[in-house]
Structures are given as structure tokens and as C-alpha cells.
Structure 1
């Protein structure tokens, strides 16, 4: 039976891979993000994918998004986010005001965006559906405001699971380790750092987007209807590299 799936941040990397998977299953997929170019590129490749530009940190933008969405959403994947520190200019002033802006940017991108999106869609989520948050191994490491935001996401997800559980809706977190072939590091990952991240795994390889797709697909499937409020680590058994 075809489902309706919303993937935030669906234009690149993990989000794109997830969207392409559900579309290939015959589901109707809506992808969102702030950049229209990548979204349109994905949508052009499948009749099952529709692109809508949206900044999920903006309540007004989410209000406009609702007008573009179907009445019922079966699967919500909160994937939009990323480490906003990687977008900051090097050598920026380390004063308290700058620190506050940088810290809030990661909270907005990774925690508040998911919270606002889930709240906005709460009444449209279908009974027996699924919410999947994309977390990070950074939540369990010393990773600054990005790690704090992802740790907060995992904690907040417990509330989502409790609130939506009576309607048969599950809410879980998929927590990736290092995933290659994404824009996460903005092409700034040194060979030495990449080698360290791979060597920290038990599997001896970097993750790829399809690894995350498999976990998301499972949590959104009929096989996972009694799994909720959980964090599924998909990191190849990685240890801390710090």
C-alpha cells in the first residue's frame, strides 16, 4: 500500500538517498529544504517525488508548507540540519555574542527545526505511522553545540514517542557515524581525519547513505511497530576519536 512520506533536507546526502528509496517503493514523497536547486534535481528523476522549498527553523515557512502537503502524512523523516559551525568563517571573533549566535545556530538547525516540523504536522500524522529523527554519533561525544543539539534531539524524541504512541505512531532516532558521499563536511575533511574516523570503526570502512536508508526503512516498516523512543546507532561500531 502506497504511503505519503515527508523528508526534510531531502535534496542531498542522506535525505536524498532516503527519499529515493521510498519513491522506488511506490510511495508518494515530498522533499523539502532551503535550496531549490538540489530539490528540483531529485524531483526531476521520479514522478513520485515532489519538491517544496522550506526553512524548517521558520514557523511562518512551516505554515506555508502545510498548504502544500497532503492531508495525511504516514512517515515523517526529520533529516534537515548539519553542523553550522562548518559554515562559520574562520577567525571570527570569539566574544560572548558570537558564541551565543553560533550555539543557537546549531540548536535551530538540528533540534528546533525538528521540533517545529513535528508540531506543525502533529494532527496530520496518520495513525500507525512513523517519525524518524536523524541524529548523530556526535550526541555521545565532546562535539560542541552540534553534539549538544543532537543529544537534545534524542532526549526530546522521548516526548514525541510518549505523545504520539497512543495513536500507534512510533518515534525513533537513527544516529549515524561518519557517512561518506554527503556534503556534511563541506569538502573540508582532511585525509588524516577521514582515516581516523574509519579506523575508529569495527567494520573498517566509512558508512554510506544506503546504510542509513536501511535503518530508516526498517523503523518505518510494519516490522518495527513496537519499537519507539529508541536510538539506533549506525556507525560501524565506532569508538570516540577524540
Structure 2
């Protein structure tokens, strides 16, 4: 019987690649996004079902769960992003506070809300995969701190859901090309520096992350839980 896989932020970039891989495996996949037209286009391209949802909003998350026809077997909490790219440089402390709240809500709170809702009825054998970032290893920005919190929270979540037969892991990408993460702000010089920092001399691709995500949700990965797994070509090493 096909598993129900929920991929938040599945309307583009890495999330869309994750959804496609699960669909190709024969799973029943639901993707979410905030922009209906983009979501519908991604759903049609991947064979997933699209449900418009802002997972940072409790009411939206509750409405999403009410539209699912079965408990979630696999949750991939992909929604997020660096909200600093959408904001001017803060001019005062109020602006700093607002910017930090925005990144924490977009990345940490959205993950906590959808995971809490999905885990309510998730059966044994289920899996939660959250998304961190190489930026969490340096954590000098609100985005890096929010992703560091996601990684720490996921480790604690693993301990809580492990007795139920559910795994919880975090995937932390480095520079991944072919996404909208930088929102047009990535210069050629910075891109070259990011690629030069890798050991294999190439940018990551959405499929690199998607392959790890689908593995972590597979029966072969049942004893892998509570971990942050990096996909960055060696730009950050853990030893």
C-alpha cells in the first residue's frame, strides 16, 4: 500500500525534487506551498497533490491535516528560507527584532507546527525529515540560528518519538544550485567561492538532497535517527 508523504515547501527547488522522487517510488505525495499557481504547476509536473498552506500559521496547518485522507507516514518539513532577502537592512533595534522573528517563524516555528500536527496520528515505521543548513554551523545570522534550532529540536524529537517506532532526522544542505534560495542576489564571485569551498569542486543539486531524504524515509534507514546529515560536498565537515 502506498505511503502518504507530506512535503511542505514542495512547489519548487529542493522540495519539488523530493516530491518527484517519492512519486517515482510509488508513494502518494502531498505538497504544500503558499502561492496557488506555482503550487498547481509543481503538482502537475510531479504527479503529487497540491494543497495551499502557510505552515507557519496554525489555522492553515489544521486545515491541511483535515484535507488528508490518511495519517502521514513520512513528513518532509522543507518549507522555509532566509527571510532577510525579503527585508531591508534594519535601521533600529525594532527592525532587528522583527527580522529575527521572521526567520525563526519561517524556519523553526513552521517546522514545529507541521511536525506536531503530523505526528499526532503517524504510525509506527514513520519518518520525519527536517531541513537545516550549512549556515547553522556558523550561526551568525538569524537564519543560521533558526536552522541551528531546527537541528537541535530534531535531535530532541527523535528521543520523543523513537519509542513509537518513528525516526526523526535533519538534512543540512550547503550551496545547492537551481533553487530560488538567493532570490537573485547570488553574485558570480560568491558562487565561485561557495563551489571552491567544496571538496568535489561542484555545486550541490536538488537531487543530491532528495536522494538522502528518500533514503532516510526508507526501511533501510530505520536505525538512523536523531542525526543531522550534511549535503555540502565537504564545504563543512563534521570531524
TM-score (norm 1): 0.95
SS in 2 for 1:44: helix
Cα distance in 2, alignment partners of residues 54 and 42 from structure 1: 14
Conserved 8 A contact 2:19-2:46 = no
| Residues 1:214 and 2:229 are matched in the alignment | no
Please name the residue that 2:61 is paired with.
62
Conserved 8 A contact 2:154-2:226 = yes
| 1:20-40 superposed Cα distances (whole Å, 9 cap, x missing partner) | 111111110000011112210
Cα distance in 1, alignment partners of residues 127 and 218 from structure 2: 8
- Assess, with a 3 A threshold, how the Cα gap between structure 1 residues 142 and 152 changes in structure 2: closer, same or farther: closer
Cα distance in 2, alignment partners of residues 218 and 152 from structure 1: 23
Please name the residue that 2:228 is paired with.
231
Deviation at residue 142 of structure 1 after TM alignment: 4.0
| Residues 1:76 and 2:75 are matched in the alignment | yes
RMSD of Structure 2 on Structure 1 (CA): 1.3
TM-score (norm 2): 0.96
| Residues 1:107 and 2:99 are matched in the alignment | no
Cα distance in 2, alignment partners of residues 100 and 120 from structure 1: 28
Q: Which moved more, 1:116-125 or 1:173-182?
A: 116-125
Conserved 8 A contact 2:16-2:46 = no
**Number of residue pairs the alignment of both structures matches:** 237
| 1:91-136 superposed Cα distances (whole Å, 9 cap, x missing partner) | x442111110000000001101000111112222121110000110
| Residues 124-203 of structure 1 mapped to structure 2, 5 A cutoff | 124-203=121-200
Cα distance in 1, alignment partners of residues 199 and 70 from structure 2: 44
Unaligned runs of 5+ in 2: none
Cα distance in 1, alignment partners of residues 181 and 69 from structure 2: 30
Cα distance in 2, alignment partners of residues 118 and 88 from structure 1: 27
| 1:114-165 superposed Cα distances (whole Å, 9 cap, x missing partner) | 0011111222212111000011000001440000000000101122101111
Deviation at residue 46 of structure 1 after TM alignment: 4.5
| 1:155-194 superposed Cα distances (whole Å, 9 cap, x missing partner) | 0112210111111100000100000000000011000000
SS in 2 for 1:149: helix
Cα distance in 1, alignment partners of residues 75 and 138 from structure 2: 27
| Residues 1:34 and 2:34 are matched in the alignment | yes
SS in 2 for 1:174: strand
Deviation at residue 239 of structure 1 after TM alignment: 4.3
- Assess, with a 3 A threshold, how the Cα gap between structure 1 residues 46 and 138 changes in structure 2: closer, same or farther: closer
| 1:23-64 superposed Cα distances (whole Å, 9 cap, x missing partner) | 1111100000111122101211344x1100111111111111
Cα distance in 2, alignment partners of residues 143 and 10 from structure 1: 27
SS in 2 for 1:120: helix
Deviation at residue 202 of structure 1 after TM alignment: 0.4
